[in-house]
Structure 1
């Protein structure tokens, strides 16, 4: 199994929207980075697989699933590192506000599990939509 397979599994599982299935692809301990506003309910620091499940449960529950659109422009894998570049459009369930942001996701893996999840996006756009 290559890390590319793990990344493909992650992207497919993420699209399926099951937080526990998504978290199962992560190691027990995770190097996690998401920069954002405390006004965004799902922005939090995670260090464990259980934290990851709660993050995705909160985040995915905060969006109107039928209004989600993701475009992946590039997926680059080099050994245990992967970078996913794209754009995501979401609608906030609580207020109906839509936003679109480009994103860069840096993943690292070991033994078929994700050990690093660093995502970079326009956090101001997300915070304004969530406010």
Structure 2
């Protein structure tokens, strides 16, 4: 699979909330980085494919069901590199607070597997929605 194919499968599986299927797209050794408040269990670095499902299993239940909107605005591919420009809107389940953030995934694919995934978003907006009750 080329970069475009892998990224499209990644986005499809994210939409299906298929954490194990997403992990299957990753190489065994990875460079994963999601910056943010360390109190949120899905932030930080990961280096193994086996760690990928935990990210999604920790994050998805934190959002109120039926109150999330993810819009993919563009996917740009240049060789092994892809940039996915998106916009996330969620409501945090425990606080009831909404947040919205533009986001970019930087994905690198080698030999048909994702070897790098870095997410860039408004970490202050995310943290504020989780840490502060209305």
TM-score range, shorter chain: over 0.9
Q: Which runs of 5+ in 1 are unaligned?
A: none
4+ residue segments displaced more than 4 Å: none
SS for the counterpart of 2:51 is helix
Q: Which runs of 5+ in 2 are unaligned?
A: none
Structure 1 equivalent of residue 68 of structure 2: 68
TM-score normalised by structure 1 residue count: 0.94
Shift of 1:44: 2.8
TM-score normalised by structure 2 residue count: 0.92
Shift of 1:2: 1.6
Shift of 1:17: 0.6
Q: Contact 2:33/2:43 (CA < 8 Å) preserved in 1?
A: no
Q: Does 1:26 align with 2:26?
A: yes
Structure 1 equivalent of residue 122 of structure 2: 122
Structure 2 equivalent of residue 51 of structure 1: 51
Q: Contact 2:88/2:100 (CA < 8 Å) preserved in 1?
A: yes
Output the aligned Cα RMSD: 1.2
SS for the counterpart of 1:66 is coil
Q: Does 1:5 align with 2:13?
A: no
Aligned residues between the structures:
131
